[in-house]
Amino acid sequence: MSTTWEQLEGAALSLARSGSIKERLTDAYRNHLALLSADDLPEVVREEFCGIHDALTRERPLRGEDAVRATVRKMSNREATEIACSVVRMFAALAREAVRESSAALTEQLLNGSAAGGARLKPLKSVPQVVALYAAEA
């Protein structure tokens, strides 16, 4: 089973491929975003995800199609592009959140004088304050 990160990355990559924006958006939703639940996502991207889901499933389907196909069929290329941009922004926000979490974990390890794998680090005299300040700015 793919992780949330992998599904969002897959959606972004689907949007980067060749083809019409509507085809790429449909592929990104059906093969990646539809497999996610808002509860799977961090709080920072949950609202955007719900907005994308609602925007792509709002139309009533005709016989032989689903709500996504009906919605994308009725939307303009400009609207499809805006939704695709939202998907990429959501993926970028998730990446930024992952960097923040990694930075915070590293800062905590440095301040506590321990490293991954149980190795002990020699406490540094002034660098941890700089790292902590940098992490707080990120």
Residue range 27-54, pLDDT digits in tens? 999 999 999 999 988 888 899 999 999 9
Q: How far is CA 24 from CA 17, 53, 109, in A?
A: 7, 15, 42
46's CB contacts (< 8 A; 6+ apart) are: 38
Question: Where in the chain are the domains?
Answer: 4-137
Confirm whether pTM is higher than 0.85: no
CB distance 127 to 111 below 8 Å: no
- Return mean pLDDT, the chain: 82
CB distance 57 to 49 below 8 Å: no
What CA–CA distance (Å, rounded) separates 93 from 8? 11
